[in-house]
Amino acid sequence: MRVGVNYTPSQGWFHSWLDLDPDAIRRDLENIADLGLDHVRIFPLWPLLQPNRTLIRPRGLEDVATVCRIAGEFDLEASVDAINGHLSSFDFLPSWVVTWHRANLFTDPSVVEGEAALVTALADRLREEPNVKGITLGNELPQFAASTPGHSHPSASPCTPAGADAWFDAVMGALADAWPEGRRFFGFDDDLWFADQHPFTPNHAVTRGDATTVHSWVFGQVGPRFGARHPALALFPRYLLELARAWSTDPARPLWLQEIGAPRSCVPDEDAAGFVAGTMDAIRDTPGLEAVTWWCSHDVSPDLADFPSLEYSLGLFTNDGVAKPEALQLAESIPDLRGQAPAPTILASEALEFSADRSTGAGRSVCSPHGDLFTTWVDEALATGRPPDLRLV
């Protein structure tokens, strides 16, 4: 199993793309490599790469390549997110899709054409870098399309499941054409698994791209329901991975735990290392799990304003590069994760069953952490010492 981290620069956070400092990047990535991690996920900002729909900045592309090249100096593989319109509660949308030029991110033909042009340009540049293995379309972009009551984006780009299909065809299709041998991924928040009204469905997650990615955050539903220190928190990423297996018709489809973190709203400082140990123990024998990527590398500096409070403490390192207890625990877990023998990918004959529409996602709310399925799954995992399989019927 590959074990890595989502790279958040220690100096200036992602605003550092405005004035890239290779020496600062090099110090950060050396910290990461010294822990024994083997890959980083990198997040250039969409407005800086493509400030106008028909202007993709060569310097911006070169800055991304520079960071990837520095990662290679430390034998770190790099995966790059292309369309980063949202990161850590802040939106990063170019001026040509907001206010007077507001347009739908998924259905406006000119916007989709621009997005396809951007992923093509990134692919053309990054395929030359030997340590870059693939591109994720973007970080949790489907939240712009969410229509969940009380949880819709304030500047929503609504679409339908069919509209999402067309968007994938255009944008991921452009990426495949530009870099056929590169790996293609798509990152989404966990509402996709639980919200019946969401136009992006589990079927999109388990059929689009070369692996199913999972983002596991306990601050949304699990932590508020069960409270700090409950075993359900450490088990939640395994539950999501088992859901991904259940929704897929391909038992051998790879899985990537693309984001997992220890938010202080649910995981106090003194529990962070234990939370890392518990989550790694819960996921280590997941069938098909190729990689786990911790969120994130470095704390947001307290000098930066207006982040949600939990964002300032999610790093493995402080913003001045000091390894935190959770970093040391993750490093300690690496040999066990990498040495784990592959588990059978076929679902067990005995599995917890749930009903939903595989093609449309209708009924998926039964899988919510507030529902009976999750409660039963946690209880059985704790009683038997083994997380049970899930089966969609």
- pLDDT at 342 exceeding the cut of 90: no
Q: What three-state secondary structure class fits 145?
A: helix
Mean pLDDT lowest among 138-142, 155-159, 246-250, 337-341: 337-341
Q: Yes or no: say if 228 and 271 are a contact pair by the CB < 8 Å rule.
A: yes
Tokens of 146: 């969410």
Task: Supply the pLDDT for residue 149.
Answer: 67
Mean pLDDT lowest among 85-99, 155-169, 343-357: 343-357
Long-range contacts of 151-159 (CB under 8 A, 24+ apart): 151/191, 151/195, 155/91, 155/93, 155/98, 155/102, 157/104, 157/105, 157/106, 157/107, 158/104, 158/199, 159/104, 159/106, 159/107, 159/199
User: Amino acid identity of 63?
Assistant: D
DSSP assignment letter at 150: T
> 359: pLDDT confidence band, cut at 50, 70 and 90?
very high
- pLDDT at 390 exceeding the cut of 90: yes
Q: What is the mean pLDDT of the chain?
A: 96
Tokens of 71: 């990662």
pLDDT digits (tens, 9 = 90+) for 39-67: 999 999 999 999 999 999 999 999 999 99
- pLDDT at 151 exceeding the cut of 90: no
Task: Supply the pLDDT for residue 154.
Answer: 86
Q: What is the average per-residue pLDDT within 217-241?
A: 96
The CA-to-CA distance between both ends of the chain, in Å, stands at 30
Q: Structure pTM?
A: 0.97
Q: What is the average per-residue pLDDT within 173-199?
A: 95
Between CA 372 and CA 362 the distance in angstroms is 17
pLDDT digits (tens, 9 = 90+) for 272-322: 999 999 999 999 999 999 999 999 999 999 999 999 999 999 999 999 999
Task: Supply the pLDDT for residue 349.
Answer: 67
Task: Supply the pLDDT for residue 340.
Answer: 81
Task: Supply the pLDDT for residue 188.
Answer: 92
Q: Is 275 left (phi over 0), alpha (psi -120 to 50) or beta?
A: alpha
Between CA 98 and CA 389 the distance in angstroms is 44
- pLDDT at 362 exceeding the cut of 80: yes
Structural domains of the chain ordered from first start: 2-347 (3.20.20.80)
> 379: pLDDT confidence band, cut at 50, 70 and 90?
very high
